Structure 1
């Protein structure tokens, strides 16, 4: 758990709440994008001379979120909705898990310390009509309640505009931990893959390669700890969204494993040019040294 605090504070300090720069003015000014999920939050550098207040003030987006806390054991998950409201040009209000927090703009991130809990929000990956976000909630009095919360905000596609077939090259990014023989190590998670959609039906499928690496130790140790795992994606689209199971095609650390990993997401942009969402890794593997539990979560983003 000690590694969670510097990751959130230092990582979020470098993140910019950048959102979907090029499409913001179209959305605000003309309603040209047929979105139903509110407006992406964006930086002040917007095509057409828009400002941060244009993109944020009086705009509300509600979406799914996934969070992870390492605690003292194998990790714990929460999956629920998160609502982000643009109160004014310098303030966003986040409602997550029943808690309301007002965060102030600091540089290009949003930050606040409330009742000895620090809240930091910034962009993780930036697309054209959608971006993924990381929300660090650091509880200094109860570190086990500290969490990294991931969510996606964008202009999801009018389902009537989803036509034919599409293939998306996706990148994913997240964190988690691994429990082996009673020892917990923190993980960085990244990877890539392809997600395919047949809009004439409801079929969604594809493959992901997920890499987990120990986030502790020196460069050589981190490199040596890298593990690659394959997932076969099978899911169903409903409107502009989809859910999918991620079935293991090989294990991260061992010869045999049981996986309950899942993904959910949306298609974004006027004609579904982008895809983004959240995923959960929840795997128990059997190795020569005993059970290995790998848990974590990630956001993914891709384009045709």
Structure 2
């Protein structure tokens, strides 16, 4: 390992995670040729090729993959050490990479994070909006906003707010198909199904006299995008069981009619989640508290 520079190894990790030399060059404010030369210098020092380069993408050799996995852990450990020191300072700085679902981003996070960045100009935040559940450690995220049951024991979580769900349909759909008076009548309705539902998209949760039960429903449309279900319901296609936050304004405007409101029982927590292996540093703790306050300011949208 003589001649190997730690900075080159960390630059290699950045290149792998960014997927291109040019992105890293922009991040580091250096030229593409400098990035290329430093990766070549690392390969020469290690006496092995680390990646295959093409005009379209970069791919790792077996040696490159092994180095990346080990170096990523070292980079994380170094970041934790820096964060620990930063935690004792009067100022906070650094980068926080967040993944969050679309509904929360639109309703709360976009504005809340912008305000946080304005208040703390030394902190840089990267927000990735995606309803898919990603691997925080594998994909390099510091924080995730997640809804529902948390099954990954390697993660720590802070509850931000509870989110009630509601069944809605348009007045036109109800005029044509009738308003269900009880859950058994859902078999006569086109129920729009949420594909990412952990209990199965066709299993709708209800309660009666404080006793919860599940009704199996069916419909002609299924999607992993909650907004797609909202749009389909708005097009008079059927009934959708969605977060109240998603359709709050639609209900207030009269575009949607709540259905079986006395029976709906789905309530899930919205959490700030971070890897257990990484204790939250000062800037992450500050952001989580800021987001919790932002959700509670919008509590009327959630329950």
TM-score (norm 2): 0.22
Which structure's relative contact order is higher, taking Cα pairs within 8 Å and 6+ residues apart? 2
Rg bigger for which structure? 2
- The structure with the greater share of residues assigned to strand is 1
TM-score (norm 1): 0.22
- The structure with the greater share of residues assigned to helix is 2
